[in-house]
Structure 1
């Protein structure tokens, strides 16, 4: 029987320059100059993520962009893209799975890993931290790490280890001293004469910080109170009372702290010390279905690419079928010998894991790929996929209908939609569905054919014209009876027959400007020119009455 583990071990990883270094990885020239990402904050732009060169120039996160340009004229900036940084953090989440299966994200720039029982697989906690640092160096990322018994303590060590508590006084400390004392301020730069250097910035402090098991109190005591994950206002309130370090709070009565600052401060303190539980809630990595083929020699012919697809498609579809999934969007990536990459995507009207349905769509895109000096690797991925159920459970009343639907089901139309969508886009292929409205122009909805089922529940209504447009005035007698002669669009018409009326009232719960004319009497009018028009007489609830034309029958 294995002995129970007495201590949990939590690893907190903080990437202080995640946004900036994500772009530096794509364009290394950005790392040679002061570079930062900016975000909108109120009515101004502020720095959100800085490169190492920008920090060395004296810039800081949260600084207004205009002040940053005044301090560093050659600062280069880009707009922050939170969705791309979230995707990058998700990729780091998958990487962190090599250390433990229990990994959680702390958006926008951190990960939490439960290392309980895993550190010995890497030679201990220090060796594991060294492996993390080596991997991040290879990826071009800055990282701060902290290991402790609790999530709160690991979070504090990763972000605030090596930092001293800030002074409670505002402004420049030298400006608050006497003039004679201020004149000797230059002598205080003792680190230029061989003394100890000042504390490093938060993102440049030593990255290795481990609190031994059961010693979270001693590791947290010298840290500033901001290490307890408190907001800036509460940190300022505590500093005004002389409570600048976590050690100043540990010995205080909990009741007094809760009464003065609220229960949030006490909860954060207890979580960091292990008196209150704070579990690590991992998020399962999304399922990815992809296959690739590395080629011994570069290829450039369409037939060779299709031969490779014939070997890759069955493997991809087999994985999808095993998981009960069907591909909706498939991406083909062609990696060239010149380090370039081209990709094409095809969509399906219905999720499928049948190679015979995917191959014709991919064949239409292969001819568009520029092979360049040759393709040496192909990758096929189901970017979007949905569940595919092999059978459906129905009751006795629905059994007959389900069997009939299954017998009449045909994938030919779905394949046709997919083929057309590969050329013009799936969004361009639409179908009509009934809507819950008696107003003619609102009686149907236009939906994408690939993401909707055929409509089989059209209500029993009177015939509607094939073409509808906004009502256009018709010159004719001002009477509710259909006109014998009228003028429309600059042409004279003679009515040879009329069918109606069909009275339609406006939706009284909506103030539609098009229906302020009140009730309408619609007529189907045949003319001597061969047109069959849809005319209506507006009774004029708030406007003048009259005749209008709104559509034409086939």
Structure 2
């Protein structure tokens, strides 16, 4: 078995209940931190439990291959966990052994076995022994190894039964039983700020751990979020007209759980925000949660280029400049090539609609305005005479598309052809009747 213990406080629980989990009324800030840390841990394994009100333990043996091995998983947890308030990390074959090592600053066993490593650690690292530390110290017992060398019968009669049980669990001689954390259906967390903050950009440092918890929760549910709402509560010493607080909702064009992208978007919005009163608490809620398709972990690379995708970069630019200033093209269900593409804000999610499949192949490039061609002997010319290869394909309609402010419409009736030019290659041309009844030819597109 491979356990890791994440300690958020170096202090021990109250002596009266060494093995119980602290309630939210006893340690409200610690309880919130533990709950958020457990949400983040659920992305690695469903076997996550709270221990003694100050730590989270998780069993990772079955998750090592999924996260590229023990070394890679250790590096990731050691790098990310401190941002969630973790002050100590311990890796061991038992959960209580890992917690004891985390309290003493021992990261892992290295090349040693569990027993000799634990034997060297002080009594105070084990909660059940810390309750009797004063009595044991007067008897010359200062380490777990010295305590373990005492006769078990005498220890059982002199002290409570929890001491031997806790020692056996730490050394792997007795099974450990935990109440596993469930993955909540919705995500909503809060965090109290250590000090009043009156600058909006500074809230990013406190919001980042909340976003980490949200991304961990999304990964545990194999889902993504299309946005989130960050709410802040003003300090009780605020002005009367400041109100209770405020909120900021950030949307994405697609469901994802990319922490750095969410952080960048939030930073852009906070940079433009002015707080009307100091903030003492933050709350975060996930929006638009939906299941996402997992990336393939095949040996072949998914992309030959690194960095952010274009969609994520455009979202960040839109957050800085405003959504109405960053536009993207999108297709509409219109068989007229001139108006089949519209432009809209990049952040809007648009469902793709299936259009009728044209009989002719579509050109690679369209001209901004169709170019009228010369006609000689009833044959269109463009850098020489054109040879009509495929066609005609009749496109007719637009009586409903009225020009703004006028009574005119964009009604067209065209016969499209694929034509061949000896110098310009394959072209997309059409013929139409002008107002005077004359048949005219136009160049509308070019095939690459």
TM-score using structure 1 length? 0.34
Higher relative contact order, chain-length normalized (CA < 8 Å, sep 6+): 2
TM-score using structure 2 length? 0.41
Higher normalized helix content (fraction of residues) = 1
Greater Rg over alpha carbons, structure: 1
